[in-house]
Structure 1
Amino acid sequence: MRSYDLASLAELLQVKLDGDATIKISGLATLANANEGDLSFYHNPLYFNDLLKSRASAVIISPQQADNFPGNKLIAEQPYICYARASHLFAVNTQENYGLAESAHIHPQARLGEKINIGNNTVVEAGASIADGVSIGANCVIGRNASIGKDSRLDHNVCIAHDVVVGQRAHIYSSVVIGSDGFGFAKEGEKYHKIAQLGSVLIGDDVEVGANTCIDRGALDDTRIGDGVKIDNQVQIAHNVEIGDNTVICGCSAVAGSARIGKNCVIAGGVGIINHVEITDNVTVTAMSLVNQSITRPGSYSSGTGLSNTREWKKNIVRFRQLDSMAKSIKKYLTTK
């Protein structure tokens, strides 16, 4: 278990120390559950009572709130950002330095960089390029002519299909599939004819893709994921979607074909975005919303009904169905009055 004295932590995090510099810190914990030896953080007023009662050996806190905690403090202008940086100091390193596993199948025409790890039973096909410092877990497939950028990490059971490009410092979590065929069919009568998906997927630098997410290849043009994009678990990105830099897409959302999402957006959990819509930069879409038209102005957008008890909800549904006739009746009344 890693441990640091508080002075070392202050130096590593580049923050001011107020308290006992020699105290040992061996972990991170919430204010409510912290014990001796733990470092915690305070950034949200909802947890003020937890701050007052916390048993943490030290707390990351802003200068404005520092007087509210009598114990040892690391004073940071942005406590939550400081906590994010501190978390990496205590993270368990799950990457194994196994080099090239004997059971890995690497095509002679694949190009391998230096200081790479390739796990058991992983397949690297002809023409694939693995840059310096890449770590690939067990049971992965890197397709023909695919490219994995410098210092990227692929966890176990990841599939990168042919011709896909993954940028530098990406983290692709377990069971992700990138570059599978888009859902493209042409209907003739009662039959569907499959459309060959001839594009690829281009993923920028510093991208994270959560477990069991699927990103489909383009039909003609490429599916594009910008720099710094963070995609949560179980997200579906359809063919020809474009996602701008530093956008976040939360779990169980689905983005239909050829939709375009701008930069610095937040798509909350369970959001559905229909095909061919465009969302401008700096938009937040709240959880379980349906985006069925383009969004041209920055801001926060929501759809659907809020939670209520079932009896009230059923009554409201009846009223919703009557809205059109009610509006017509009101209009008729006003025009004849």
Structure 2
Amino acid sequence: MTHVHKQLTLADIARQLDATLVGSGELPIRGLATLKDAGPDQVAFLANRAYFKDLATTRAGAVLLHPEHGKTCPVPRLELDNPYLGYARLSQLFDPVPARDRTGIHPSAVVAESVQLGAGVCIGAQAVVEDGVMLGDNVVVGAGSVVGADSMIGEGTRLHANVTVCHGVAIGKRAILHSGCVIGGDGFGFAHDGVAWHKIAQLGGVVLGDDVEVGSCSSIDRGALGDTVIGNDVKIDSQVQIAHNVCIGDHTALAGCVGIAGSTKVGKHCMLGGGVGLSGHLTICDGVQVTGMSLVTNSIHAPGVYSSGTGAMPNQQWRKNAVRFKQLDDIAKRLSRLEKSQRRD
């Protein structure tokens, strides 16, 4: 399904992306699509060589691509050194998210008298905003969302429907929180007396920087003592769990189902693939990439790409290898004895 919200010419698009246009600039464009599915009034993009095979037969009105692929493009083209970034910027022009056409408080919302509202705030149906909250200019609190007492939300931030921001949370400017996420729930802290568990009160808060995005049904727990801190421009996918007192540096991205245990510090410009798990009390330096489904149990002090685990294989082969895994320690000892024996000889 294609959503049409505006019409631009190729010349308009080239100017906004600062791209080199090859072909007529008068062509009207009404949306975006893949190389395979695009029609004459849509722009496609090529940023992954895996889709190069679709370029020759595309019916797109134009293609956004790297200059090195321009000669083989059969339609008008927009050339950029980083076509994927260009696609990201272009997608904003055709974003189907409804534009806000109203401000103010829905009659069914519950807003405490002590709440401080900036200009242009919009609070949706059945939302709840508790005592002592500060909402900056142009904040959107979606339908059914809850903003807990003494929280602060910076200008231009949007809470989609059914977001929970617990008490004492600070959120920066232009953040986007998707439905079902919980910011500032209790961290998982308990003490055992030999028979039963005793809850440890979580006394800290959560601080989210500017331009943070949190996916649906993700949880960022409040700190046990100090705060859980998420830096500027951090991007968090859906169903991610961030435990108490975790710190994540600026511009880091976490894919779906990442789990980070308590008090771990992740540096700037890191990327954690889907399903990555980080044990607690670790330090991950700047510039680390961890591939999907990896388990990290020790600190990482040098930037680079890290992986763990094994890829899928036929079950019969995996069962044989699983037996060999158990034999590795014995094999290593035998190899060491053999090497010592050879050195003596």
Counterpart code for 1:204 = G
Counterpart code for 1:92 = P
- Establish whether residue 267 from structure 1 lines up as the match of residue 272 from structure 2: yes
Higher deviation after alignment, 283-292 or 41-50: 41-50
Change (3 A) 1:14 1:332: closer
- The residue number in structure 2 matching 1:292 is 297
For each residue in 1:38-66, what CA deviation from the matched residue of structure 2 results, as whole angstroms up to 9, or x when unmatched?
10111222222111111111011222221
For each residue in 1:314-333, what CA deviation from the matched residue of structure 2 results, as whole angstroms up to 9, or x when unmatched?
11000001111122222233
- Establish whether residue 241 from structure 1 lines up as the match of residue 246 from structure 2: yes
Q: Give the one of 206, 214, 221 matched to 1:201.
A: 206
- The residue number in structure 2 matching 1:130 is 135
Secondary structure at the counterpart of residue 65 of structure 1? helix
Matches within 5 A, 1:281-320: 281-320=286-325
- Establish whether residue 167 from structure 1 lines up as the match of residue 167 from structure 2: no
- The residue number in structure 2 matching 1:192 is 197
Higher deviation after alignment, 94-103 or 155-164: 94-103
- The residue number in structure 2 matching 1:86 is 90
Counterpart code for 1:165 = A
Q: Give the one of 26, 30, 37 matched to 2:41.
A: 37
Q: In structure 2, how many angstroms separate the alpha carbons of the residues matched to 1:122 and 1:97?
A: 18
Deviation, structure 1 residue 5: 1.6
For each residue in 1:122-178, what CA deviation from the matched residue of structure 2 results, as whole angstroms up to 9, or x when unmatched?
011010001001111100110100001000000000110111000000000001100
Counterpart code for 1:19 = G
Secondary structure at the counterpart of residue 191 of structure 2? strand
Q: In structure 1, how many angstroms separate the alpha carbons of the residues matched to 2:20 and 2:337?
A: 69
- The residue number in structure 1 matching 2:183 is 178
Secondary structure at the counterpart of residue 328 of structure 1? helix
Q: In structure 2, how many angstroms separate the alpha carbons of the residues matched to 1:263 and 1:334?
A: 43
Task: Point out where structure 2 has 5 or more consecutive residues left out of the alignment.
Answer: none
Q: Assess if the C-alpha contact under 8 Å between 1:228 and 1:246 holds in 2.
A: yes
- Establish whether residue 216 from structure 1 lines up as the match of residue 221 from structure 2: yes
- Establish whether residue 66 from structure 1 lines up as the match of residue 70 from structure 2: yes
Deviation, structure 1 residue 97: 3.3
- The residue number in structure 2 matching 1:101 is 106
Q: Assess if the C-alpha contact under 8 Å between 1:184 and 1:197 holds in 2.
A: yes
Task: Point out where structure 1 has 5 or more consecutive residues left out of the alignment.
Answer: none
Higher deviation after alignment, 325-334 or 96-105: 325-334
Deviation, structure 1 residue 336: 4.3
Counterpart code for 1:3 = Q
Q: In structure 2, how many angstroms separate the alpha carbons of the residues matched to 1:228 and 1:333?
A: 54
For each residue in 1:217-245, what CA deviation from the matched residue of structure 2 results, as whole angstroms up to 9, or x when unmatched?
00001000000000000000000000000
Secondary structure at the counterpart of residue 97 of structure 2? coil
Q: In structure 1, how many angstroms separate the alpha carbons of the residues matched to 2:301 and 2:15?
A: 45
Q: Assess if the C-alpha contact under 8 Å between 1:224 and 1:243 holds in 2.
A: yes
* Number of residue pairs aligned between Structure 1 and Structure 2: 337
Counterpart code for 2:249 = G
Change (3 A) 1:12 1:336: closer
Q: In structure 2, how many angstroms separate the alpha carbons of the residues matched to 1:33 and 1:320?
A: 47
Aligned residues with identical type, % of pairs: 47
Counterpart code for 2:137 = D
- The residue number in structure 2 matching 1:22 is 26
- The residue number in structure 2 matching 1:231 is 236
- The residue number in structure 2 matching 1:321 is 326
TM-score, normalised to structure 1, is: 0.97
Q: Assess if the C-alpha contact under 8 Å between 1:15 and 1:75 holds in 2.
A: yes
TM-score, normalised to structure 2, is: 0.95
Deviation, structure 1 residue 95: 4.7
Q: Assess if the C-alpha contact under 8 Å between 1:95 and 1:135 holds in 2.
A: no
Q: Give the one of 9, 13, 36 matched to 1:9.
A: 13
